[in-house]
């Protein structure tokens, strides 16, 4: 942190012109913008696909009889567009901003950055086309058609090379954000290979199931999580103007994630032929991760101790800390739901669906939205056109995800108890209908928040450009 403060002090001593030159040389603002635009396009597509699937559940599919719009295929499009379209693009845009500023080194090659950008959009679009044409693989989150996997794997390797080169070139101590980033580049490459090649070509049966379970969870824990927390360690001190409370706790969080998270995935397949020692190991490691997450959350709340008012006044910080609370709650939920006793009730129920949405939207989507809320005025060189639309985006998203998660988690309990009582399957389908209607209303609230954000971006783009120095002096959206 001292090194970061030193670099910040050096930059402050420069003139405004010199600062602008340094920023322009280090950060390619255009590619940050393009990644954000691509991310929002895929998020819009994903949410529309999710709404299509939710209408199918209440027997009101507006596109019935059209094979290409089969809800089963669009459900896979919904999840893949979020993981590889929205989250990957959003994080890559933020990395193009954060890594050069943390290292005071540009990425390896600007042309390589643009090659990766174009290639990754092609990978995501090809995945969508392959899924809609019925070429999906039979693995959750790994439905990418086999002919796309090598290109995606190569893309992940190029991403690692492009970002790890400036980290290797930097001098001085390595800030904790960079530890998370380096780990994510390595883990994501290995995780994608494990999930998309090993079950397809090397193992079968329960062994393939075990590997698939590891892949499902490691995609969240070793790709999304380290990038998310690494960016939180970067943005929160900048916005709060205070250092992280404890460097020691940040190390506990990092090494706890590295040690415990890779073991968790098999908890998706409890009560299966997978050896019980692996199932017990997954249960124990999942509970241990909750303790690790607690240290990280305590660290961030300790960082604003005595200054909690900033969550109310600073909208990006509010996005960040709302996501942190949701992350703590989902990991606490995990610690209970992975026990064998709890699994008897909630397995295969909508509890799991509510849990997944609370993680993917309530945590990581909220973090990316907070980062976009902070960064877009800086890369567009314009202040937000409407603070009210920014607030509306936050509240519609927050209320929507809380209603959806609470609705589905409660429904999951009712479904589990119904199945445990050996009631006919159609009984659970019938009493699920009002819960699924409420789910649609919550989803429409979340989608309304996205539309408010997109409208605000469009209005901001129509406003006059403000010099970069003046934009940086604008108060953060409150």
CB 362 within 8 A of CB 326: yes
Residues 6+ apart with CB under 8 A from 72: none
- What is the pLDDT confidence band of residue 477, given thresholds at 50, 70 and 90? low
Residues 6+ apart with CB under 8 A from 379: 29, 30, 32, 33, 36, 97
Across the chain, mean pLDDT equals 91
Write down the pLDDT at residue 476: 52
- How does DSSP classify residue 147? T
| Mean pLDDT on 1-17 | 43
Write down the pLDDT at residue 274: 87
Residues 6+ apart with CB under 8 A from 391: 315
Neighbours of 202 (CB within 10 A): 11
CA distance 369 to 393: 9
3-class state of residue 196 by DSSP: helix
Residue 16 predicted with pLDDT over 70:
no
**pTM score:** 0.93
CA distance 284 to 304: 32
Residue 64 predicted with pLDDT over 90:
no
CA distance 329 to 189: 28
- What is the pLDDT confidence band of residue 23, given thresholds at 50, 70 and 90? low
CA distance 59 to 64: 10
Please give the residue that has the higher pLDDT: either 160 or 24. Answer: 160
Out of 170-174, 177-181, 397-401, pick the least confident. 170-174
| Mean pLDDT on 145-172 | 94
Write down the pLDDT at residue 131: 93
Q: Give tens-digit pLDDT for 400-416.
A: 999 999 999 999 999 99
Residue 38 predicted with pLDDT over 70:
yes
Q: Give tens-digit pLDDT for 107-130.
A: 999 999 999 999 999 999 999 999
Residue 458 predicted with pLDDT over 50:
yes
CB 94 within 8 A of CB 100: no
């Amino acid at each position: 942190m001292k090194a970061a403060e030193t670099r910040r002090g050096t930059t402050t001593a420069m003139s405004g012109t010199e600062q602008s030159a340094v920023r322009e040389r280090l950060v390619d603002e255009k590619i940050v913008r393009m990644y954000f635009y691509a991310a929002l396009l895929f998020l819009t597509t994903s949410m529309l696909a999710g709404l299509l699937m939710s209408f199918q559940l209440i027997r009101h599919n507006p596109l019935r009889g059209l094979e290409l719009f089969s809800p089963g295929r669009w459900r896979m499009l919904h999840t893949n567009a979020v993981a590889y379209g929205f989250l990957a693009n959003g994080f890559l845009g933020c990395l193009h901003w954060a890594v050069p500023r943390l290292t005071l080194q540009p990425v390896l090659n600007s042309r390589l950055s643009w090659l990766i950008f174009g290639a990754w959009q092609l990978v995501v679009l090809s995945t969508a086309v392959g899924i809609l044409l019925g070429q999906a693989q039979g693995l959750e989150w790994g439905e990418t058609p086999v002919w796309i996997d090598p290109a995606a794997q190569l893309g992940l390797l190029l991403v690692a090379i492009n970002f790890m080169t400036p980290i290797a070139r930097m001098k001085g101590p390595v800030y904790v954000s960079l530890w998370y980033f380096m780990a994510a580049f390595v883990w994501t490459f290995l995780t994608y290979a494990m999930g998309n090649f090993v079950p397809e070509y090397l193992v079968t049966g329960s062994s393939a199931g075990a590997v698939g379970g590891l892949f499902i969870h490691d995609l969240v824990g070793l790709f999304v999580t380290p990038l998310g927390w690494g960016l939180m360690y970067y943005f929160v001190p900048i916005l709060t103007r205070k250092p992280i409370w404890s460097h020691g706790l940040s190390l506990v969080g990092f090494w706890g994630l590295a040690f415990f998270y890779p073991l968790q995935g098999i908890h998706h397949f409890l009560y299966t032929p997978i050896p019980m020692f692996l199932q017990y190991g997954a249960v124990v490691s999942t509970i241990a991760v909750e303790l690790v997450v607690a240290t990280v959350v305590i660290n961030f709340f300790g960082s604003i101790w005595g200054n909690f008012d900033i969550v109310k006044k600073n909208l990006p910080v509010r996005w960040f800390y709302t996501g942190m609370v949701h992350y703590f709650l989902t990991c606490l939920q995990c610690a209970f739901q992975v026990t064998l006793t709890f699994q008897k009730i909630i397995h295969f129920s909508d509890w799991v669906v509510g849990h997944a949405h609370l993680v993917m939207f309530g945590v990581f989507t909220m973090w990316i939205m907070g980062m976009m809320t902070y960064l877009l005025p800086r890369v567009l060189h314009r202040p937000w056109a409407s603070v009210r639309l920014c607030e509306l985006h936050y509240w519609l998203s927050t209320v929507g995800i809380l209603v959806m998660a609470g609705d589905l988690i409660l429904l999951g309990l009712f479904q589990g108890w119904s199945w445990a009582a050996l009631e006919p399957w159609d009984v659970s389908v019938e009493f699920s209908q009002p819960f699924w209607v409420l789910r649609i209303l919550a989803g429409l609230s979340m989608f309304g928040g996205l539309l408010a954000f997109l409208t605000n971006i469009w209005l901001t783009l129509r406003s006059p450009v403000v010099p970069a120095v003046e934009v940086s002096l604008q108060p953060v959206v409150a």
